[in-house]
Amino acid sequence: MATTHKTRMLIIGSGPAGLSAAIYGARAGMQPIVVQGLQPGGQLTITTDVENYPGFREVIQGPWLMQEMEAQAVHVGTRMMWDTITSVDLSGETFIARGDGGDIYEGDTLVIATGAQAQWLGVPGEQELSGKGVSACATCDGFFYRGKKVVVIGGGNTAVEEALYLTNHSDDVVLIHRRDSLRAEKILQDRLFAHPKISVMWNKRVDRFMPGEDGALRAVALIDTQTGEQSDVLADGAFVAIGHAPATELFKGKLAMDETGYLLVQPGTPKTDVPGVFAAGDVSDHVYRQAITAAGMGCMAALDAERYLAARQFEGVTETVQY
């Protein structure tokens, strides 16, 4: 039998943004509910070594970090729900979300922290070598390839930015692109072509990622898109940089988005165009996409949600006095 769950702050998504919002919301007495979704813990649950999250001198494991965040959220008063939201109604004063099992979740405020997923090539070896040489985030993992050869796959702004960033760690960065020209902005292209540590392989598509005897990435197998010729490029690290897809399908036609589906917020805030609805983390951030920035945005969303409720309560009291 379907159950209705009510809360002052409903959070959809359980990555760093959602759980940070829950921690702050719970400490403010809002008794938040977190609906965890298809990937509880977000992208960090499929990340192995994490070396850039503040507070840990040694490398930690992504799944462990998310377990600790969840435990902290529960400890301060968060309710965690194992469910997947299939529809939302943002038209009333109370925001309503429906789970795939029929349960209904009602929130006086709503924090959307559904994140974004890296787009992958879908070739053999890609998932098997994820965390063992194949990555979708140079900022996250580039440090592990200091002094080693790396390749970046893609031709847009993200790929060029990743390649330029990796020159901080590697003297041999190869950009692999399936066409004979890049889609990136000209200023980025100029920086790329002028950089002595970067070379470009044109008209090449990735056929597969190949492991070495140690089980880590050894080489990337390529096919020439013009001639069909096969070749291999040796690499210690490969970064797939063909874009990210925000998980915002639920909110199409209900919240303002940009042309790629990221939720639009007021500059410097997590506020969407619907009062009381906030977006935090990668669902609205296509620039930084880091666990620490997502956590910070989750904090901001919870603080703004508490202020929104306080203002609404004050307005209700004022109206009562006037009448």
Residue indicated by tokens 């192995």: 48
Exposed, middle or buried by CB within 10 Å (0-12, 13-18, 19+), for 43? Answer: buried
Exactly one of 103, 137, 172, 224 is catalytic; which is it? 137
**C-alpha pair distances (Å), 275 with each of 33, 92, 301, 311:** 19, 11, 12, 12
Provide the CA 233 distance to its chain's centre, in angstroms. Answer: 29
Q: Half-sphere exposure of 30 toward its Cβ, with a 13 Å CA cutoff?
A: 31
Exactly one of 83, 108, 141, 285 is catalytic; which is it? 141
Q: Which two tokens stand for residue 227?
A: 């001639």
Active site residue 140: yes
**Three-class SS state of 203:** coil
Phi-psi sector, 63: left (phi>0), alpha (psi -120 to 50), beta: alpha
Distance CA 179, CA 187 (A): 19
Exposed, middle or buried by CB within 10 Å (0-12, 13-18, 19+), for 186? Answer: exposed
- Amino acid found at 42: G
**C-alpha pair distances (Å), 307 with each of 25, 129, 212, 286:** 11, 45, 55, 26
Residues with catalytic annotation? 137, 140-141
